[in-house]
Structure 1
């Protein structure tokens, strides 16, 4: 059959139907798939697995529907193994599982495929399922109890339009479910040990644990004769399968920590469910109930419904060696925690069975084993920094501190520093000093790891692409650009080697991370270029989120939401040479090589000739991290100030570093804040973190043009922006903000509005949102691959292409170009053959 242009853009879908003594229903179902769907016929494959040994149903289906591939295994494999057998014979990129007693709506396939194409992180699509008349709900959402029993939420309720919004679910019903074929194979398909019941719950559970999403899509609609294929199965046999399979799914999929508490309680509850269901006198063997006279071992009748629970536990034990191997696979592959999946469980603590003795036992077990704590455990987040965390902190440590502070409101957070100087202020979260070799334990503890700087290099296992831990990389500091300036004083060979090393460190982060934080839109464009060059901007990632903000978001430096309050004297009247009425210009950060305090000194010298009360105060000359050496610019600044006769008269240096909790006293004593820098690439992508303190304390800002902060000052009217290395312009700007009271007041009014946008709670919102539902980046999901592939051209088309290429190469370079291209093609073919071996 010819492939249309529309068909070429759509994946082939293999619809798999399992038949068990229901040929009439199966034929009706397959005819509907063949004749009534709005999907290209050449992209549909129909497969029927006949589980009816000894009947002629397979022959009848072949006769009625010759275009259907009918598989006859010769025995009843059960639903799970039957579906797996069908999947192994399927050629489609998408597998569609459909019950034989179901009827698909016209858009059933097209709507599901649209979701898979638009959202590459969706591994499976759960269809909306109604009863045969389309009036009552069969499946619109899945729930899971803490003891492993899945159930259909809202089943039997009228379809009132309240379930017509797509949403993520833990699992879809196997009666109408779409799964990416390659992914289904990678997971080993349905667990065949289940035979039937909960194989769909288990599959969805495993998909979610591996970071894939299961998406409920109401436009993908089917109608179902509920349990038409189960008419011959007794309730006791059904209960046996439900009980056994629930324990198996629970054992395979929960973490070690959860399993230790939940499995004993689940098995105990299964027994109580059995005795309550069978109305068994559970006290009949107590000694107080012993009859007078001989204690004969008379048989006691027990219903099969009660026996089902006991036999289920017995067979669960029988399966444990196999399940243990399966558990090891699932636990090694998981990238999400039990806590991550609790919202998808909907009501994990729901008892599920309305039997009085059972409900009493449920309450006792939940309390005795602390199960509310298990399923309410907060997510664990480790923030790893290489900076000194103490009373005196630099930008990276301040940023890491506030990340931990904001996230600790919802999660269990610990801040870990590998710096030797850790003496933190009091905090609501633990701050831990660790040697690099000790980081592994913190990483193992955490569900999400946030890294800065070089820290990722210290945890080799975390760097590898096959690591399943969720990693957030804070790349607000473009270290390689910074090093171009910082390394000017070193020799050329060392400088080049250092730059290569730092670039390699950053590239490792960019290849590994699941989510990235940068400080500005300018930086975001810069890092997008990096990610693109490393191949991270894949079609799958782009299709999931064309903005790519799910991978890279702007999280600028922040400021406290609490207004600064003076706690002691600082500059005015406290520093010798600075009086209470002087005009104080504050330089709030360190003095580094990429800054330009020299032009500022010349500007202050000019202003001082007209205004004798101007004072410039450098807040910190020595970096708070003792491991960071003083840069040459600091010494040059001291010398120029002395040469201009400013030191001790108009310019003052704090030779240490102000404690973070005391900085507000210095800010509140200032009249304006200043930052000046050179014009170079580091400036273009920098975000001057300490400058935000100016906004916090309401200080008008004077800044050099060229960075993102200058853009903000100019656009919002927060002060004056001047050209780089222009002392006259800088002097005029200082005079304006210091001595033009009306202008300064207008700046303060605008600052009061703008600073609300920069509170730590506001700027960290993208990180907070990610940590509420952390997942691997779309391009890091296991078994991810293109849904559709380029069609191999037929022989005639291939010859046409080769002739066209031959003409192109002759026109471009003659026979020499043809020979070169042919040689390259032969090498590629040889390489492909070697890889296949």
Structure 2
């Protein structure tokens, strides 16, 4: 008997994506429950759904709570063994669900998994958001098999395996509902961006496995809600990265890492200055001050956890920008330690 699986699409003013990609999801997900949770859209998304796809279940959220709060609110009301959190700008493929769920069923300690994520507009190459599974270096810089910073690898079948990773992308996240709720769901202070990395880090610290399955493939447009050039996205990425590090690092490494990041983010700001991207420079400054203002509440809400999650103990910034290692297989230790010890 197949376990219960609910596909949950969080929508915010994404009617154009629903019109484009929802028929594809329906045609390749027959027999599975599909929900669209709406984050207080103003583009008539819900009415369009009710008019054209009355069989699809909908859930209305009274205000835009971002990715984190929107999914938390919706998933309280959806009863299923597995959730598939699916971005509205994703094209799925034949048989995209079964290999991932089958892999997760093989071990009760697997909490989350992602499929292979390829670019919708450059279909031979990996997409930025997740690629073939996510990792993070000891300074908090995320990267992926198949994508390091702005370099995307061509998909030549090199990552058609199934394996443990540090984080699985929120663009197409398979997660066991029991583990999701046991971890407390997403941290709503993130609003959007990196909340899935924070969740995966917490799940790893709880002793769960985070995984990737190259036996399933989807195509992602990316930047559907916030384009990567938007200063608000810059703000969220820098602020949330600091929040995530402060929350999850061992107490003895927390402040040292934050100070290192202050220096590196200053260098990053200087790079933006050279291109005249002053709104991004301002966004980084605002991100740091917003993080510093949150420190008292972060300390107050801190829960003592046994540190288990493995990081990549090299600087991905150094290896990429100084040593010129733009391919995952070129990294000093490409087979990263991923099993909790």
Which TM class, normalised by the smaller chain length? 0.7 to 0.9
1:97 aligns with 2:85: yes
Quick check: 1:319 aligned with 2:294? yes
- Which of 289, 302, 317 aligns to 1:351? It is 317
Cα distance in 2 for residues equivalent to 1:772 and 1:238 = 29
Aligned-pair distance for 1:256? Answer: 0.9
Cα shift at 1:335: 5.3
2:168 to 160, 168, 172: 172
- Structure 1 or 2, whichever has the larger Rg, is 1
Say if 1:334 and 1:106 are closer, same or farther in 2 by CA, change over 3 A. farther
Mapped contact 1:166–1:215 kept (Cα < 8 A): yes
Matching of residues 27-176 of structure 1 within 5 Å: 27-37=19-29, 41=31, 44-132=32-120, 134-138=123-127, 139-155=131-147, 156-176=152-172
Tell me if the contact between 1:30 and 1:46 (Cα under 8 Å) persists in the aligned partners.
no
2:217 counterpart of 1:236: no
Of residues 269, 278, 282, the one that matches 1:274 is 269
Paired residue for 1:258, among 253, 263, 268? 253
Query: Post-superposition shift, 1:34?
Result: 2.6
Residue of structure 2 in register with 1:557 after alignment: none
How far residue 209 of structure 1 moved from its aligned partner, in angstroms, is 1.5
Distance 2:291 2:110 in 1: 32
Pick closer, same or farther for the CA change 1:68–1:118 going to 2, 3 Å.
same
CA drift at 1:225: 1.2
1:192 to 188, 194, 203: 188
**Structure 2 vs 1, CA of residues 51 and 106 (structure 1 numbering), >3 Å: closer, same or farther?**
same
Task: Report deviation, 1:305.
Answer: 1.3
Shift of 1:159: 0.7
Instruction: Specify the alignment match of 1:397 in structure 2.
Output: none
Q: CA offsets, 1:230-259, max 9 Å, x none?
A: 34x743221111110110110011101111
Q: Deviation at 1:35? A: 2.5
SS state at 2:123 partner:
coil
Task: Choose which of 18, 22, 26 in structure 1 pairs with 2:14.
Answer: 22
Higher relative contact order, chain-length normalized (CA < 8 Å, sep 6+): 2
Contact persistence 1:27–1:61 (CA under 8 A): no
3-state SS, counterpart of residue 72 of structure 1: strand
Secondary structure in structure 1 of the residue aligned to 2:310: helix
- Asked whether the equivalents of residues 7 and 34 of structure 2 are also in contact (C-alpha less than 8 Å), the reply is yes
- Could you state the TM-score of these two structures normalised by the residue count of structure 1? 0.36
Measure, in 1, the Cα distance between the counterparts of 2:300 and 2:263.
24
Which secondary structure state, in structure 2, belongs to the residue aligned with residue 46 of structure 1? strand
Structure 1 match to 2:326: none
Q: In structure 1, what is the Cα distance between the partners aligned to 2:314 and 2:93?
A: 32
In 2, are the aligned partners of 1:128 and 1:140 still within 8 Å (CA)?
yes
Of 193, 206, 209, which residue of structure 2 is paired with 1:210?
206
TM-aligned CA deviation for residue 211 of structure 1: 1.1
What's the offset of the Cα at 1:226?
A: 2.2
Which residue of structure 2 aligns with residue 793 of structure 1?
none
The CA distance in 1 between the partners of 2:270 and 2:78, in whole Å, is: 45
Q: Secondary structure at the match of 1:334?
A: coil
83 and 22 in structure 1: CA distance in 2 versus 1, 3 angstrom threshold: same
Structure 2 distance, partners of 1:29, 1:323, is 39
Aligned to 1:551: none
- Report the secondary structure of 1:61's partner residue: helix
Q: Give the Cα separation in 1 of the matches to 2:44 and 2:295.
A: 37
**Structure 1: runs of 5+ lacking an equivalent:** 1-8, 281-300, 360-375, 377-770, 776-837
Shift of 1:12: 0.8
Q: 1:86 to 1:24 in 2, by over 3 A?
A: same
Q: Secondary structure at the match of 2:61?
A: coil
Partner SS for 2:225: helix
- Count of residue pairs the alignment pairs up: 321
Q: Measure how far apart 1:354 and its partner are.
A: 7.4
Whole-angstrom distance in 2 between the partners of 1:244 and 1:201: 14
Instruction: Supply the distance in 1 between the matched residues of 2:181 and 2:269 (Cα, whole angstroms).
Output: 36
What aligned pairs does 1:535-574 form with structure 2 within 5 A after superposition? none
Does 1:334 find its partner at 2:326? no
Report Cα offsets for 1:786-814 as digits up to 9, x if no partner. xxxxxxxxxxxxxxxxxxxxxxxxxxxxx
The alpha-carbon deviation at position 53 of structure 1 amounts to 3.4
Secondary structure (helix, strand or coil) at the match of 1:320 reads: helix
The aligned runs of 1:611-626 (5 Å cut-off) are none
Counterpart-to-counterpart distance in 1, 2:21 and 2:103: 23
Show the counterpart of 1:246.
241
Gaps of 5+ in 2: 324-332
